[in-house]
Amino acid sequence: MRLDEIPEDILRIMLACVNIYTVLSISRTNRFFHSLSGDRLVWVALVQSLHRRGFVNTETPLSISQMTQPALVDLVKRMVLGPKCWRPPKHSSLSKSFSKLALGGQSSTQKNVVEPSSQHVIHPDNVNLSKINEARLLSGGKYILLSNKVLECWNLEEDRLVWAHEPPSTDWSVGAFAADVLHGGEEANVILYLFHWMLDGRAESQVEILKLELCQGSSTTLLCQAYPMSAESYGVERVGICGSLAYASVSRFHPADGSYARTAHTLYDWDSTSKPYLGLNSNRPFVIALTAQHLVAFLDPPNHDGPELRVISLAGIRGSGYWSSAIEPNSVDITQFPTVTSTNITSGITPSPPWLRTLYVHQSPLDEDVYRIWARWSGFDGKGVLSGYHMFVSPDVVLRPRIEFESPTDVSGSYAGHALKRADEERYLVYAPGKNKPVASLDLPGGTPLAHVSPYSGCVTYTEQVVRVLSFT
């Protein structure tokens, strides 16, 4: 039986079970499949699947079921390209594919200062603005994690404190945190770095990994370990978690002159009861990110030729004999692990050392076997190069370059590649990928220097006397 001989109802069910990239591809074959691929019920099923997997922050399953087909297509388009008011006038070919499926969509007029389409506010007690408090909207859009000296979890719709972490004592503070929200959105695994200063001027710190039951407001400790801080350690600058693996990255400086040396990384396998720790190092400073199957490393160039993106299989890392029962920073050179694929980023721009590195890896909402990588290599003067790649993980792992350009500011962690740069105490500038000039600006009055952009929705979360979540369309 040919595909076009299958009853339409069966074809609709089949389309609702594949990924969005497949639906877009089928829509280009002929008029019949173009019409069928634009069916509203097909898109309701596709977007509800994205919601269960944490890609949708601004809608509920009920509201998704009531949306029109153009609105559903526009919602997915916003995940890939960012909010309309943040986009430059020219769109990609993928954007055109969405536009053909969306019936009667219209483009919006670009404005300098963009207003949020909606906002939510929560009211924590005793927000300490003398510290840099970071608030993040969790995947699914229902909960917020807030580092208000202690880590707190809030229900956004109900403006209700759900859970608060209990530190070893009141003089401990949150240095960094990250969360991996599980499918369904009511559970999350969280890695938390805590520290406090002792009377002799030394820092004491520890890493905890917790499982949060968000609907019940309870937590279970999966791992808790003191983190060794040497005299040249600055502190944990970044943590991450994906599945049963997590990592913490610590900046280190030369003790003689205080100049930047490199970053040490520790992997945590919280599901292991015997040897859960693995320290990583290299004579080339690097940053890392985790996916379900791979570790992505972004390493400094060995001979000023350009930095390197390297993909390593987690199966190879897990199966190695380097894991330890105690934290041993810098124990294994990362180059000892077999590389699945790698590429050198070559450009005509070489930032002035010492170099800074930023790396984000996001799964595509269109295809679960594709990831988007954003890697920025810059100097202390702020000038840098931002490179975008697609990583295909099936059937073989392939890195394919998308875009590379001189970037005036760091990428904010959004899938679309937008970046926020603080212009003054109340305004942020929005930069689109490939653009050296801002495409929009946001007013965030009274906010702290940290404004978090959700990867797929473009929601901006920031802290002042309250915590605000701004949505843009």
Tokens read off for 130: 């003398």
As a dihedral over the C-alpha atoms of residue 387, residue 393, residue 394, residue 396, rounded to 10 degrees, the angle is 80
> What pLDDT, on the 0 to 100 scale, is given for residue 90?
64
Q: Which amino acid is at 89?
A: P
Residues 229-241, mean pLDDT to the nearest whole number: 71
For the chain, give every domain's residue range: 3-101
Burial of 247 (0-12, 13-18, 19+ CB in 10 A): buried
Q: Of the candidates 173, 174, 168, 203, which has an alpha carbon nearest to the alpha carbon of residue 190?
A: 174
Residues 223-251, mean pLDDT to the nearest whole number: 81
- Residue-wise pLDDT for 405-445, tens only, equals 888 777 778 999 998 888 888 889 999 988 888 999 999 88
Tokens read off for 70: 């153009």
Helix (H) or strand (E) holding 314: helix 314-318
Q: Is-contact 428 405, C-beta < 8 A?
A: no
Mean pLDDT of all residues in the chain? 86
Total-model pTM: 0.90
Go through the chain and tell me how many residues it has.
Answer: 473
> What pLDDT, on the 0 to 100 scale, is given for residue 253?
56
> What pLDDT, on the 0 to 100 scale, is given for residue 413?
83
Over pLDDT 90: what percentage of the chain?
A: 56
Tokens read off for 157: 């719709």
Collect all residues with Cβ–Cβ distance below 8 Å to 450 and sequence separation of at least 6.
132, 133, 134, 462, 463
CA atoms within 13 A on the CB side of 77: 28
Query: Residue 329 pLDDT > 60, yes or no?
Result: no
> What pLDDT, on the 0 to 100 scale, is given for residue 434?
84
Tokens read off for 122: 């929560």
Q: Which amino acid is at 326?
A: A
- Residue-wise pLDDT for 373-397, tens only, equals 999 888 877 778 889 999 999 999 9
Q: Are strands 419-424 and 427-431 parallel, antiparallel or unpaired?
A: antiparallel
Dist CA 224 CA 200 (whole Å): 24
Q: Is-contact 467 154, C-beta < 8 A?
A: yes
Q: Is-contact 433 410, C-beta < 8 A?
A: no
The C-alpha angle with vertex 174 and arms to 361 and 318, in degrees rounded to 5, equals 45
> What pLDDT, on the 0 to 100 scale, is given for residue 273?
81
> What pLDDT, on the 0 to 100 scale, is given for residue 104?
43
Q: Which residue has the tokens 């074809």?
A: 11
Window from 78-92, 122-136, 154-168, 210-224 with minimum mean pLDDT: 122-136
Dist CA 431 CA 174 (whole Å): 30
> What pLDDT, on the 0 to 100 scale, is given for residue 93?
54
Q: State how far the alpha carbon of 395 is from the alpha carbons of 332, 337, 391, 454, in Å.
A: 29, 21, 12, 29
Q: Which residue has the tokens 């740069």?
A: 421
Tokens read off for 240: 């991450």
